[in-house]
Amino acid sequence: MEATSAMVASRKTQETEADPDHPVLEIRHAKKRFATPEGQEVVALDDVSITVARNEFLTLLGPSGCGKTTLLRVVSGFEDLDGGEILIDRQDIARQPAYRRPVNTVFQTYALFPHLSVARNVAYSLEVARVDPAEIRRRVGEMLELVGLAGFGDRRINQLSGGQQQRVALARALVARPKILLLDEPLSALDKGLRDKMQQELKALQHELGISFVFVTHDQEEALTMSDRVAVLGHGKLQQIGRPQELYRAPRNVFVARFVGESNLFPATVTQSDPAGIALRLSDGQEVRLPASTGNVLMVGAKVRLMARPEDARPATGKNNAGGLRFQGRIKQVFFVGAHYKILVHTQAHGTLKASLPAGEDLGSTPAPGQAVELHFPPATLHVLLDEEAGR
Amino acid sequence: MTRSGILSRLLSVYGLLFFAFIYAPILLIVVFSFNANPVNMMIWDGFTLDWYRTIFGFPSRLTESTLYVESTRQLYAAVRNSLLVALVASSVSTIFGTAIALAVARYRFRLRSFYRAFMFMPMIMPDIVLGIALLIFFVSLGAQLSIYTIMIGHCTFLISYVFIVVSARIADMDDKLEEASADLGANPWQTFRRVTLPLILPGVVGGGLLAFIISMDDLVITYFIAGVDSTTLPVFIYGMLRRGIKPEINAIATIMLVFSILVASAGLYLRARRK
Ligand SMILES: Nc1ncnc2c1ncn2[C@@H]1O[C@H](COP(=O)(O)OP(=O)(O)O)[C@@H](O)[C@H]1O
Ligand SMILES: [Mg+2]
């Protein structure tokens, strides 16, 4: 009871007591195992450590079954950790039951109360915290307005569209001003147009309310669009955490490179390594020199992967011969996507490559299946990947 | 006529016969409860309300006959006993049956599936076995057979019916709703009162009404465990029958029928209104 009213008042405490530098949420070495009915063990969280800053929009990104929901449930209090700790405003909350935690959730299926009106759904957390009815009415009204549902208060839940239900779920979770809002794939049930709209609205809402959002998705585009930072999860492990640009430009391992954006990956061997840079040889024999990266020092003979993003491909010309990688092949398929063409190129040595070429005004140069092409990736666009994935 | 035409016609005839088979005896009882012939119920002798007058203790042709044994008071006592037993037993069973259904649905504990299967047992068990078992149980405890032993006895199997009806309702409910409630700061009691109970209420009410009707209706088990002064309506009717079928039994049966239909429709109405 006290904790819930504390949560309702958390807006004030956030502004006064909280020092803005320490993270709102710290997940330290979280471990969680499940026993399957067949008697096997699934490691859903394997030593995951993540911090979420005040006001931050953090996205958990990963394929289905990688432990995203489990991580949220551990934070909200519906699963117990097998190891590690969870701190909210520097306070270990592992022992607190779900209803005492200053965290609210937007569920994937919304989980709206079908027997209550829209307004009563939104009012729920305030009602159980025994907030003054007049105050409840005011805040519910404000919240409904904020999510664009003013005037819908008396509706029943089953009289709303999917997008409207989504907004009610948001309003319901936000009205008590939690320190952290958890969102478990909230947009996955919406159609594309509505999803894009809600992405923008969510981002704006987060900005306006100043509440930290932990947003779960398996859609990398969504993650890149919305987030301040993205944490990529794979096989229960944190693969990488960083700003969307970092993840995209400098994925730490193959798993991230594959999952975030599209990429071409070439196995390569280090043939030379000195303070100035490294040289790599691809399986087709071509060599490429790259400037030294700040990361690991590579040993000669090490096996690595070279990542090249499709949009960095250019048609090879005499001019851009210096450095980088070149591939000759034949166009297999062409997809016109407005600003550019996505093309699949078949090469002898490396199978199918993905490239995207700007769609110029020049209709004469339209790529077509069957054409021979030579693609060039400049050295600055290439990125060396060491491992398959974290901890493997 | 085509083959399938004949078949479908046969099917409708079959359907009619089927309903006739089920409802004709019941209909006959209702009709005969208004038959003026006091000796042979099977021969229609004109319309009368005498039998209803008799069971409500008003003077009638029957009460004036010399052979008439006054039993209205016993009948009332039996009805009162039945209502009391049904009310107490169905209330208690509704509370416990609902609690068990929630426990089995929401908590993981050892022997959970065993427990679930066990809840069906009293329904499958032959009434006569249950009756004898309860009798032996009460006797060996040294308990005096009374209206209380009937109540306890009824609870043993009514809990099963409530359990099954409520369990079906819980299975229909989205279990994320309770999580959502806790997530929004409601403690377990608040979650139960504000979310779980309102959502399973139609099942609870339905289960309770079913238990009430079954309790009102039970003869075999009650017969074994009823005390001398705690005759219920079915036991009383059974006793009357042994003295020969009398027309007022038809009237009693008709009233019981109407009562059951009213209770059942109330249940259906409540359920429909919730949806
Ligand atoms: N209650 C549970 N019992 C057994 N296994 C579970 C349970 N919850 C999750 N898992 C398993 O843990 C892994 C991670 O699940 P989850 O967190 O739901 O993944 P995601 O949300 O990323 O799709 C999966 O392999 C899943 O099967
Ligand atoms: Mg999930």
Residue A111 lies in a domain: no
Asked if residue A206 and residue A292 are part of one domain, the reply reads no
Asked if residue A208 and residue A336 are part of one domain, the reply reads no
Residue B108 pLDDT: 80
Residue B129 pLDDT: 93
Averaged confidence pLDDT in chain A: 87
Beta strands at A25-35 and A83-88: parallel, antiparallel or unpaired: antiparallel
Taking the C-alpha atoms of residue B180 and residue A112, their distance in angstroms, rounded to an integer, is 8
Counting ligands in written order, which one lies closest to the CA of residue A35?
1
Asked if residue A346 and residue A209 are part of one domain, the reply reads no
- Given a contact cutoff of 8 angstroms between Cβ atoms, the answer to whether A311 and A263 are in contact is no
Residue A12 pLDDT: 39
Residue A364 pLDDT: 57
Q: pLDDT-based confidence at B57, cuts 50/70/90?
A: confident
Residue range A339-369, pLDDT digits in tens:
888 999 999 889 999 999 887 655 556 788 8
- Tell whether ligand 1 has an atom less than 6 A from the beta carbon of residue A66: yes
Average pLDDT over residues A313-320: 76
Counting ligands in written order, which one lies closest to the CA of residue A237?
1
Question: First vs last Cα of chain A: how many Å apart?
Answer: 45
Of A249, A275, A297, which residue constitutes the final position of a domain?
A249
Vertex B202: Cα angle to B196 and B206 (nearest 5) = 130
**Is the Cβ pair A113, B183 closer than 8 Å?**
no
Nearest CA in chain A to B179: A78
Residue A229 lies in a domain: yes
SS3 A39: coil
The shortest C-alpha distance from B8 to chain A (Å) reads 41
Asked if residue A301 and residue A184 are part of one domain, the reply reads no
Residue range A140-175, pLDDT digits in tens:
999 999 999 999 999 999 999 988 999 999 999 999
Residue A216 pLDDT: 96
Q: Nearest by CB to B177, from A104, A111, A173: name it.
A: A111
CATH code of residue A341: 2.40.50.100
Of A249, A273, A307, which residue constitutes the final position of a domain?
A249
**Is the Cβ pair A115, B199 closer than 8 Å?**
yes
- Tell whether ligand 1 has an atom less than 6 A from the beta carbon of residue A34: yes
- Range among A18-32, A162-176, B50-64 with highest mean pLDDT value: A162-176
Nearest CA in chain B to A100: B185
- Tell whether ligand 1 has an atom less than 6 A from the beta carbon of residue A234: no
Instruction: Say whether residue B204 is in contact with chain A using an 8 A CB cutoff.
Output: no
Residue range B139-167, pLDDT digits in tens:
999 988 999 999 999 999 999 999 999 99
The shortest C-alpha distance from A218 to chain B (Å) reads 21
Residue B240 pLDDT: 83
Q: Which helix (H) or strand (E) holds A232?
A: strand A229-234
Residue range B173-199, pLDDT digits in tens:
998 999 999 999 999 999 999 999 999
- Given a contact cutoff of 8 angstroms between Cβ atoms, the answer to whether A384 and A306 are in contact is yes
Q: Which two tokens stand for residue A127?
A: 């009602």
The DSSP annotation for A90-116 comes to TEE-TTS-GGGSSEEEE-TT----TTS
Residue B67 pLDDT: 64
Residue range A253-286, pLDDT digits in tens:
999 999 998 999 999 999 988 888 888 999 888 9
The shortest C-alpha distance from B163 to chain A (Å) reads 23
Average pLDDT over residues A65-72: 94
Measured in Å, residue A67 CA sits from the centre of ligand 2 at: 7
Residue A147 lies in a domain: no
Measured in Å, residue A97 CA sits from the centre of ligand 1 at: 21
Of A226, A249, A272, which residue constitutes the final position of a domain?
A249
Nearest CA to A166 out of A185, A151, A180, A186 is that of A186
The shortest C-alpha distance from B119 to chain A (Å) reads 24
Range of the domain at A268: 262-386
Taking the C-alpha atoms of residue B132 and residue B137, their distance in angstroms, rounded to an integer, is 8
- Tell whether ligand 1 has an atom less than 6 A from the beta carbon of residue A217: no
Residue A15 pLDDT: 42
Asked if residue A197 and residue A79 are part of one domain, the reply reads yes
**What residues pair up with A267 in beta bridges, in sequence order?**
A305
Residue A188 pLDDT: 86
Average pLDDT over residues A284-305: 81
Taking the C-alpha atoms of residue B152 and residue B162, their distance in angstroms, rounded to an integer, is 15
Asked if residue A93 and residue A39 are part of one domain, the reply reads yes
Asked if residue A77 and residue A221 are part of one domain, the reply reads yes
The least confident of B20-29, B42-51, B226-235 is B42-51
* Residues on A contacting B at a C-beta cutoff of 8 Å: 1, 3-4, 7, 76-78, 97-100, 103-105, 107, 109, 111-115, 124-125, 127-129, 172-173, 176
Question: Which ipTM did the prediction report?
Answer: 0.82
The DSSP annotation for A370-383 comes to T-EEEEEE-GGG-E
Residue A59 lies in a domain: yes
Average pLDDT over residues B117-132: 88
Asked if the model's pLDDT at residue A16 lies above 50, the reply is no
Averaged confidence pLDDT in chain B: 88
Asked if the model's pLDDT at residue B121 lies above 80, the reply is yes
The least confident of A45-54, A129-138, A300-309 is A300-309
Residue A217 lies in a domain: yes
Asked if residue A57 and residue A203 are part of one domain, the reply reads yes
Closest approach atom of ligand 1 to CA A64? 23
Measured in Å, residue A70 CA sits from the centre of ligand 1 at: 6
**Is the Cβ pair B184, A109 closer than 8 Å?**
no
**Is the Cβ pair B180, A105 closer than 8 Å?**
yes
Residue A2 pLDDT: 44
Residue A392 pLDDT: 55
Interface test with A, best of B108, B179, B184, B273 (most A CBs within 10 A): B184
- Tell whether ligand 1 has an atom less than 6 A from the beta carbon of residue A68: yes
Nearest CA to A14 out of A176, A230, A242 is that of A176
Q: pLDDT-based confidence at A251, cuts 50/70/90?
A: very high
Asked if the model's pLDDT at residue B39 lies above 90, the reply is no
Residue nearest to atom 7 of ligand 1 (CA): A34
Residue A362 pLDDT: 56
Asked if residue A309 and residue A334 are part of one domain, the reply reads yes
Taking the C-alpha atoms of residue B90 and residue B87, their distance in angstroms, rounded to an integer, is 5
Closest approach atom of ligand 1 to CA A60? 22
Taking the C-alpha atoms of residue A361 and residue A30, their distance in angstroms, rounded to an integer, is 53
Q: How many CB atoms lie within 10 A of CB A267?
A: 12
Residue A390 pLDDT: 67
Query: In Å, what is the CA distance from A208 to each residue of A12, A136, A204?
Result: 16, 20, 6
CATH code of residue A214: 3.40.50.300
Residue range A189-243, pLDDT digits in tens:
888 888 888 899 899 999 889 999 999 999 999 999 999 999 999 999 999 999 9
DSSP annotation of A387 reads B
Taking the C-alpha atoms of residue B266 and residue B275, their distance in angstroms, rounded to an integer, is 15
Asked if residue A362 and residue A220 are part of one domain, the reply reads no
The rounded percent of chain B whose pLDDT value lies above 90 is 47
Largest CA distance in chain A: 76
Asked if residue A382 and residue A234 are part of one domain, the reply reads no
Instruction: Say whether residue B144 is in contact with chain A using an 8 A CB cutoff.
Output: no
Measured in Å, residue A109 CA sits from the centre of ligand 2 at: 11
**Is the Cβ pair B184, A125 closer than 8 Å?**
yes
Taking the C-alpha atoms of residue A46 and residue A236, their distance in angstroms, rounded to an integer, is 5
The shortest C-alpha distance from A175 to chain B (Å) reads 10
**Is the Cβ pair B183, A3 closer than 8 Å?**
no
Residue nearest to atom 1 of ligand 1 (CA): A34
Chain B CB contacts of A103 below 8 Å: 183
Taking the C-alpha atoms of residue A61 and residue A232, their distance in angstroms, rounded to an integer, is 5
Residue A164 lies in a domain: no
Handedness of CA B180, B186, B192, B193 (dihedral sign): negative
Q: pLDDT-based confidence at A77, cuts 50/70/90?
A: very high
- Tell whether ligand 1 has an atom less than 6 A from the beta carbon of residue A67: yes
Residue A235 lies in a domain: yes
Residue A388 pLDDT: 72
The shortest C-alpha distance from B35 to chain A (Å) reads 51
Taking the C-alpha atoms of residue B179 and residue B157, their distance in angstroms, rounded to an integer, is 33
Residue range A100-126, pLDDT digits in tens:
999 999 999 999 999 999 999 999 999
Q: How many domains does chain A have?
A: 2
Nearest CA to A68 out of A183, A260, A189, A233 is that of A233
Residue A148 lies in a domain: no
The rounded percent of chain A whose pLDDT value lies above 70 is 90
Measured in Å, residue A272 CA sits from the centre of ligand 2 at: 44
Asked if residue A350 and residue A203 are part of one domain, the reply reads no
